[in-house]
Chains A and B, each alone.
With several copies, the nearest count.
Chain A
Amino acid sequence: MDHVTNAGDAGFVVDLPHFSGPLDLLLSLIRDEKVDIYDIPVARICQQFIERMHSLKLNEAAEYLEMAARLLRIKAQMLLPRPDGEEAWEDPRAELVRRLLEYQQMREVVDVLERLGEDRRNRFARAYVPVALTPAVQAPLSLSLAELLGAVDRVLRHVQRPDVHDVISRPIDVDGFIEVVRAVIALRAIARFRDVVPPGSEPWEVLSGLLALLELARRGELRLRQPRPFASVEIKREFAGEAA
């Protein structure tokens, strides 16, 4: 049996064979103390819960800590003065009671499953499977292309799309912007980025403009300069590049 499980944020949780969680521990306290589940003496049960956590070395387990905190909160709420009129008061224990009952119900099902499973475990099915029969054991498959495409569709709906698809809504036009940049620097000795990409441009235009500038700088047709961080980029025609 797995007594040690790595439970996410809780770190290393020692799953004691007798308690499979805080609700289990709480239920066993309620049974030991013979108290009415609909009228839990929260202060007493809370104190015992914390004591058992310490003695079982469950202090580090987030799930048990969370339950201890919940019990303390309910205890505090019970101490608050109740407003006049019975119907206005909502028992702070109600939610906990509901969860405990639900959990206990499930434990009963576990008992049933345990009994059934144990009974089945004690019987063996025929273990020897003739090799020659193995391939024929598979029943024919009922599967149409429509079903496969349906599955493709489900995968598509659930797959996380790479971010690039969400950012860019229009085709990037690097070649087009190369022409724009060439036109701009043909007119001006020094141009600014906003001359190529006017303010208010769409993201695809900004990206296309930037890629066009980088591409032309690589080809040596222009030089890019940024005087200070975050300053507007200066675009300067490169005469040597043009000559080459």
Chain B
Amino acid sequence: MNSLAKLLEAALFASPRPIPTDELAALDAEASPAAVQAALDELREHYDVDGHAVELVDAGGGWQILTRPEYTEAIERAQMALRPRRLSPAALETLAIIAYRQPIGRADIEEIRGVDVGSVIKSLHERGLIDVVGRSEALGRPLLYGTTGAFLEQFALRHLEELPRTDELAVALRAREPETLEQVIHHDEVS
């Protein structure tokens, strides 16, 4: 490996969080963006070809070294590391709505899910997956929520645009429903 690749390996290894490419570039003021990209490619290839138990992944808003899935069970069985708890269906539904409709208030989420979401919002907020991003101008000035960087990391997304666009989903809201215009505009915002 070349020296830049080694430097990147050290930095990625030392960080428990994903590091965006431009921050990696700051490691070596001399290195061009192309050189950084080449070094990342070399590192990734090295892990793959040499058969390491870790791999270089571009997800969660940056680059990260992660273990390959096939070792997870053995590691967890030996209690050397624990997987994070799964999110409940209620939490996932709420997250899905917030991810697509952000910024969105609690009442609008409840309108879509048909249930109270107060406690779910609280726990998503405590887990750092959502945050308050503002207040609506509506009556009572309700809080508006959006997803966080930890959300991207937890679902290994580079950015929100990696989520399927609503018109790519099997169920498309058809022209029969009244809010066609709003829906179209929303599609646009997401894509």
Name A residues whose Cβ lies closer than 8 Å to a Cβ of B.
1-2, 5-8, 10, 13, 15, 17, 20-23, 38, 63, 67, 94, 97-99, 101-110, 112-114, 116-130, 133, 136-145, 147-152, 154-156, 158-159, 161-162, 164-165, 168, 171-172, 174, 211
Contacts and interface: CB of A to CB of B under 8 A. Distances in A.
Interface in B81-133: 81-90, 92-93, 95-97, 99-100, 112-116, 118-120, 123, 126-127, 129
- B interface, size bucket: 35 or more
A20 B127 contact: no
Contacts of A147: 87, 92
B119 A63 contact: no
Contacts of A94: 176-178
Given A125-B16, A164-B187, A20 B90 contact: yes
B84 A162 contact: no
A178 to B, nearest CB: 14
Interface string B60-93: 1000111111001001100111111111111011
B172 A112 contact: no
B57 interface: yes
B155 A116 contact: yes
A172 to B, nearest CB: 5
B84 A107 contact: no
B165 to A, nearest CB: 10
B47 interface: no
B14 A141 contact: no
A99 B115 CA distance: 13
A156 B79 CA distance: 36
Contacts of A5: 90, 119-120
A9 B76 CA distance: 40
Contacts of A171: 188-189
16 contacts: A106-B93, A106-B113, A107-B93, A122-B69, A123-B57, A123-B67, A125-B64, A128-B17, A128-B64, A130-B67, A140-B85, A151-B93, A156-B172, A158-B141, A159-B112, A171-B189
A138 B127 contact: yes
A144 B157 CA distance: 11
B177 A112 contact: no
B16 A211 contact: no
A149 B164 contact: yes
B115 A7 contact: yes
Contacts of A152: 96, 100, 169, 173
Minimum-distance CB pairs A-B, first 10: A124-B14, A139-B82, A142-B84, A151-B92, A123-B66, A127-B16, A122-B69, A21-B115, A109-B96, A7-B116
Nearest to B143: A158
